[in-house]
Amino acid sequence: MDSLGVKSSSEGGQRLAVLSCEQVRRLNDVMEEKVSIYGRGNFPTLEVRLRDLVTVVRTKLESEQSSGGAGMKVRDIRLNGGAASHVLATESQPYNDLDLIFAVELSGPRNFDRVKSAVLSSLFDLLPEGVIRKRITTCSLKEAYVSKMVKVNHDGDRWSLISLGNSRGHKNVELKFVDTMRRHKLPIGENFYPTVVGESVYGDFQEALYHLQKKLISTRHPEEIRGGGLLKYCTLLVKNYRPARPEYMKTLERYMCSRFFIDFPDINQQQAKLENYLGNHFVGPEEEALMHQFLTLLYNVVEESTVCLMGHERRQTLALIEDLAVSVFYQEQQKLLAQHRPQLFISNGYYYVQGSVQPCYPVTCTCPVGGWMATCSS
């Protein structure tokens, strides 16, 4: 469940809940969804059901090393993020990525390499028939299908992320392998038992579900979230979500901004993060129409709530956001002009534009004789 939150005293609520039949049906629909993993260059697109992708990756992780597997135990597998929100909400929730969390042991550095090898081996097995596989290496598979790889092993955090897919406008598949993580979003867990259980890392499951259904923004400790949840917070605002407790939001915005600039301190990192976020989270005409509003809102939040930057750094970041907003606005105007551009005709060597002719209607004059014209000439 992809909700942000406000710190409250009700942190001891029920975290788990058994999903209803309707929620299980939506979960099954998501798992049956066919995803397209686009490859770079001459590599083909991998068409696979999400359920089958999970099965292949899990099998590779749990198979013995002697047979090409990772020899690791998978404790459970969870659906996370926007897709989880879609499953739990009473109304359909749009989602851009498919986030899967595999709970595994990553106590040693070799385990990270074994996880990466298991994923690349899974991609190899998913190549369509007819593909000549002799010359395909794990390195070429990584270049073709992996858009992002992250490994974290410090301060009690042990997890890795492998993002699959490189095509704008299509859902990316993010595979996260977690041993320990101090803070992560609110997932749905499918533990391969007769009942399917949803877990709220926010705390009280019913409270988090209420926030989701009522489109309320609520978070705890945004300073513990990578990026502070700043971009997600602004995205929810432009999608007509509203703070559950508005009186706390200014304080939380300061924490969000501080954590964002801790994780992305350099202007080049900030630019890459913003451009990547816009490309991945505003897909399709309806979403793209919100980009300028999102950047304008982000500008205001950063301007009003950033307290951790030097003056020139703050002005530099604001200028970056403003430049992106101007670029987005220009692209929107170009699209509008292209849609309403008049058609050109050529005749006798001259270009003509077809103009619209307005119909003329007779109107009865109600002015008295010797009216305003007579008055003006006097």
User: 262: how many CB neighbours lie within 10 A of its CB?
Assistant: 13
Determine the pLDDT at residue 53: 94
d(CA 363, CA 104): 81
User: 304: how many CB neighbours lie within 10 A of its CB?
Assistant: 12
- Which element (helix H / strand E) includes 269? helix 267-281
d(CA 79, CA 98): 8
Domain ranges of the chain: 1-220, 221-342
d(CA 15, CA 210): 13
Q: What is the CA radius of gyration of the chain?
A: 27
Left, alpha or beta for 189 (phi > 0: left; psi -120 to 50: alpha)?
A: beta
Q: pLDDT of 250-289, one tens digit each?
A: 999 999 999 999 999 999 999 999 998 998 888 778 888 8
Q: pLDDT of 190-206, one tens digit each?
A: 333 334 566 666 667 77
Determine the pLDDT at residue 20: 78
**What SS3 class is residue 173?**
strand
Spacing of C-alpha 301 from chain mean position: 20
Give me the helices (H) in 153-229, please. 205-213
Determine the pLDDT at residue 96: 77
Determine the pLDDT at residue 131: 86
Q: What is the pLDDT along the chain (378 residues), one digit of tens a residue?
A: 343 333 333 444 566 677 777 888 888 888 998 989 988 888 999 999 999 999 999 999 999 888 778 889 998 898 888 888 888 877 777 787 888 999 998 887 788 999 999 999 999 999 988 888 888 998 999 999 998 898 888 877 889 999 997 666 667 899 999 988 765 443 333 333 334 566 666 667 777 777 777 888 888 888 888 899 999 999 999 998 998 888 888 999 999 999 999 999 999 999 999 998 998 888 778 888 899 999 999 999 999 999 888 889 999 999 999 999 999 999 888 887 777 666 666 666 666 656 555 565 565 555 555 544 444 444
Determine the pLDDT at residue 373: 45
Q: Which residues contact 214 (CB under 8 A, 6 or more apart)?
A: none
Determine the pLDDT at residue 134: 85
Q: Which residues contact 306 (CB under 8 A, 6 or more apart)?
A: 254, 257, 258, 261, 314, 317
Please state, in angstroms and as integers, the Cα–Cα distance from residue 209 to each residue in 14, 82, 118, 198, following that order. Answer: 12, 13, 35, 10
User: For the whole prediction, is pTM greater than 0.75?
Assistant: no
